């Protein structure tokens, strides 16, 4: 059994029973990728004729096609056994090339997780340090078992937090992306009741993502609850079951030019997997600060700058279907929709992506994924003569392949 990858993500780290965790288990994973778009140039706007940011590959945005080591994580996990089976720890650092290792003072070797869990109080485990915040499934689930190469628009733009000094005119992020993480204290546990597993989590944190320290004396609060019906004696990385969950988080951010702004997020969702069919759906809302992309959809190399919308609203959802043709081959279909910047007409954008996918599992720890993303962005509140429509029409479909290994 591999309880470390049980699909109750809250319980996957720091709660190993004594016979399951050695003093120091070396572990990690590699995601090596190739992505490509048609590199259609911007058809209008201040950067007309130059590369479109949305047709370049993140995080450098310098090429429309590239091989990349998207993730290369090395970590150590374990408990103090035989000294003390009630104390667990979890360490993980990122050596790949993505939003965690770029921006501001971020670098290769960026720490993504460092926590200690104290399992002394029945019903109230305490986790202290930096770790994934209790929240949306797409962010909370373990990256090695993510079924697609790229995140949905709603997760990427509402939950994958980018931090900037100002609301506009930023030449780049001032630090690593949040990566669905924060540094703080979480009280949590899961309870079995017949076939059902009920979980809760409450967390207080800096609200500083993977940057480790607070920069404004404001703290974030996180709440999470879930209920999962487990099918049979299913265990392991891809447990069979039906799960429902809801969550919210509430914090403040400080921008040099605007001052303190709110950042609220909430959501609910469900996952289902019976070994042959897999279904996942989430609905997510945002209130307060929202990522705004680059000016005119240009690239930083061509002089475009990044913005955030300090006080906006957004909502979105996705529906993800999986079908195992044979045990080693899963076909995937995902539709995601994001309605962002709904309060101000100039901000309002509708992002839609339909993703066709296939995953082949060489074994339980090695998989190759192919994705084809059909992408569109609309600006529904702007006149049809506005150049934004031509800019957004420049967006290409994107193909990607990923080889994933866990060790």
Binding site for a copy of itself (CB under 8 A): 23-24, 26-28, 30, 32, 39, 57, 60, 62-69, 72, 74, 76, 78, 80, 83-84, 86-87, 89, 91, 93, 95-97, 102, 105-111, 114-116, 118, 128-130, 183-185, 205-206, 208, 212-217, 362-366, 403, 405, 407
Of 393, 139, 136, the closest CA to residue 282 belongs to 136
Question: Least distance in Å: CB of 59 to a copy of itself?
Answer: 8
Whether residue 76 contacts residue 27, with contact meaning beta carbons closer than 8 Å, is answered with: yes
Whether residue 36 contacts residue 399, with contact meaning beta carbons closer than 8 Å, is answered with: yes
Token reading at 352: 């839609």
Q: Which is nearer to a copy of itself, 323 or 407 (CB)?
A: 407
Q: Which is nearer to a copy of itself, 100 or 289 (CB)?
A: 100
Question: Least distance in Å: CB of 127 to a copy of itself?
Answer: 10
212 dihedral zone (left: phi>0; alpha: psi -120 to 50; beta): left
Q: What is the dihedral of CA 203, 204, 208, 212, to 10 degrees?
A: -90
Q: Which is nearer to a copy of itself, 57 or 280 (CB)?
A: 57
Tokens 């996942």 appear where?
A: 280
Tokens 């204290």 appear where?
A: 185
Q: Which is nearer to a copy of itself, 36 or 270 (CB)?
A: 36
Q: Which is nearer to a copy of itself, 251 or 341 (CB)?
A: 251
Question: Least distance in Å: CB of 242 to a copy of itself?
Answer: 28
Of 49, 283, 57, 69, the closest CA to residue 158 belongs to 283
Question: Least distance in Å: CB of 155 to a copy of itself?
Answer: 22
Q: What is the dihedral of CA 374, 379, 385, 386, to 10 degrees?
A: -110
Question: Least distance in Å: CB of 378 to a copy of itself?
Answer: 28
Q: Which is nearer to a copy of itself, 388 or 395 (CB)?
A: 395
Cα distance between residue 304 and residue 61, in whole Å: 11
């Amino acid at each position: 059994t591999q309880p470390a990858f049980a699909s109750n993500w809250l319980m996957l780290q720091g709660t190993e029973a004594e016979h399951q965790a050695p003093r120091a288990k070396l572990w990690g994973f590699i995601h090596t990728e190739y992505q490509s778009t048609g590199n259609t140039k911007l058809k209008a706007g201040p950067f007309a004729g130059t590369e479109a940011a949305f047709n370049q590959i993140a995080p450098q945005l310098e090429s429309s096609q590239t091989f990349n080591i998207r993730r290369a994580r090395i970590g150590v996990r374990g408990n103090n056994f035989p000294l003390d089976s009630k104390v667990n720890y979890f360490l993980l650092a990122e050596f790949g090339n993505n939003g965690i290792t770029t921006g501001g003072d971020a670098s290769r070797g960026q720490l993504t997780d460092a926590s200690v869990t104290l399992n002394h109080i029945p019903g109230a485990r305490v986790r202290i340090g930096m770790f994934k915040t209790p929240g949306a499934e797409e962010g909370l689930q373990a990256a090695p078992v993510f079924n697609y190469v790229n995140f949905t628009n709603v997760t990427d733009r509402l939950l994958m937090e980018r931090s900037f000094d100002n609301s506009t005119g930023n030449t780049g992020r001032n630090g690593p992306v949040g990566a669905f993480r924060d540094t703080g204290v979480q009280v949590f546990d899961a309870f079995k009741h017949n076939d059902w597993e009920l979980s809760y989590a409450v967390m207080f944190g800096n609200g500083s993502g993977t940057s480790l320290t607070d920069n404004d004396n404001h703290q974030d609060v996180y709440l999470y609850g879930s209920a999962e019906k487990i099918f049979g004696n299913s265990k392991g990385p891809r447990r069979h079951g039906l799960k429902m969950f809801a969550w919210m988080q509430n914090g403040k951010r400080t921008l040099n030019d605007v001052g303190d702004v709110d950042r609220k997020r909430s959501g609910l969702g469900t996952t289902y997997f019976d070994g042959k069919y897999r279904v996942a759906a989430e609905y997510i809302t945002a209130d307060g600060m929202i990522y705004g992309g680059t000016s005119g959809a240009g690239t930083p190399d061509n002089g475009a700058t990044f913005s955030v919308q300090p006080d906006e609203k957004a909502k979105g959802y996705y529906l993800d279907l999986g079908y195992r043709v044979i045990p080693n081959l899963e076909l995937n279909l995902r539709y995601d929709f994001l309605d962002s910047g709904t309060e101000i007409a100039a901000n309002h954008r509708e992002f839609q992506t339909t993703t066709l996918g296939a995953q082949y599992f060489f074994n339980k720890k090695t998989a190759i994924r192919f994705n084809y993303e059909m992408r569109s962005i609309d600006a529904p509140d702007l006149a049809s003569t506005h150049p934004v429509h031509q800019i957004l029409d420049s967006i290409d479909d994107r193909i990607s392949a990923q080889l994933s290994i866990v060790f």
